[in-house]
A and B are shown apart, each in its own frame.
Chain A
């Protein structure tokens, strides 16, 4: 007999059921960030126009996550691959998904230049303060004093600088028609709204859209559930302020 009363977790329509449950670690922020993205896409009704590119790193695990045409690119190169698609096929909705290492370290030149050129793409970046894929090394977003495999005595900001402020940087170099925000997995409703605005900005042909999402990595933080939330909600926002940094004015008419 089939039991039909089992509660199925509600998932966005554009998620690919065959690849669920997903393979992110328990407590990983990626699942929540991609839920917000899926919800935003469902609400805008643009699933059949989306091309999704994912970076190398844990974000790679999203490569078969959605019912969209999706590309595994190279580490740091998702922004130019997706830019190439958009430039050649402007009618598509192009999304580049990456982590903090992919966006702010190895792919930073692409982020800066795509933003400066006001590319009509949406770059979505999950910030979990270290490289999860290779075993937890220091990332541009690692918090001061935080221990990682390549900062075994804690991040020394004198030697390695302060955590990268991505949205602040993107906001500074984009024209007024760009959308720039930092959301968090701890406020999914707000994060979803940000993604909707980012996507709408592309649909309207306005300009570059960028959302950083604060995301958890209990595996590499070695934190239990309570400590994980404390890190996301208390520690990270000390350096990474949540909110919209740039919202394009509504187009006339």
Chain B
């Protein structure tokens, strides 16, 4: 299984990628998580790399102390990132934001030949660039190849069930126009008792343990 999570700046790509990788790991699979956030060096996996590795994940990411002049010098990609698709087991890719969208995957050896690669666009309709059906459609069309959309609508601490369901509705409508499936709705673990297994549109719900707040810079 090879999944790449892409999407708008601050849409929740990394949170979903990390949680997906941990979920697969819990099912006893071998999983490699790859950090390909190459536009701005913050909110990436570096700060929680060791914690994730301790859980048994293979993590391909920089460690902050190993970078030189973080944000003022290049060193964004490492050789092992490019060869990530040759790893054994499942691979979860966290693709950063940027005008080039899913073209970032061009950097990975074998990305275009990999029949298992699924590119999942993460959408939060509380993000101003993707706040309406038309915005989402335009945005996803601009990303390049995408296989599915994931509703990750939330408002941080202020999230409630209604916001998540509104996201599910907008994402479902956009997906229909785009002719793409909805992968799931993602929601914080605390909504499990109220939301249940599926959202109002019938999409499966993936519950998230929030790890990314620990990863600031």
Q: What is the interface of chain A, defined by CB distance below 8 A to chain B? A: 23-26, 28, 30, 56-58, 60-61, 63, 132-136, 147-149, 152, 218-220, 222-224, 227
Contacts and interface: CB of A to CB of B under 8 A. Distances in A.
Interface stretch (B77-85, B130-138, B149-157): B77-85
Contact of B73 (A133, A136, A149, A219): A133
Given A23-B68, A25-B75, A25-B76, A135 B38 contact: yes
Nearest to B62: A23
Contacts of A149: 39, 98-99
A103 B131 CA distance: 41
A25 B77 CA distance: 5
Contacts of B72: 56-57, 60, 133-134
Contacts of A224: 106-107, 109
A24 B79 CA distance: 10
Nearest to A220: B38
Nearest to A148: B99
Interface in B50-83: 67-69, 71-79, 81-82
B75 A136 contact: no
Nearest to B83: A26
A205 B135 CA distance: 62
B69 A136 contact: no
Contact of B107 (A58, A134, A219): A219
Given A135-B39, A224-B107, A57 B73 contact: yes
A60 B107 contact: no
Contacts of A227: 106
Contacts of A223: 106-107
Contact of A219 (B68, B69, B74, B99): B74
Interface residues of B, number: 25
B40 interface: yes
Given A147-B99, A148-B99, A219-B77, A60 B71 contact: no
18 contacts: A23-B67, A23-B68, A24-B74, A25-B76, A30-B74, A57-B73, A57-B74, A58-B73, A58-B75, A61-B69, A63-B68, A132-B76, A133-B73, A149-B98, A219-B76, A222-B100, A222-B107, A224-B109
Contacts of A133: 71-74
Interface of B: 38-40, 67-69, 71-79, 81-82, 98-100, 103-104, 106-107, 109
A234 to B, nearest CB: 17
A136 B98 contact: yes
A249 to B, nearest CB: 39
B77 A60 contact: no
Contacts of A134: 71-72
Contacts of A218: 77, 107
A60 B78 contact: no
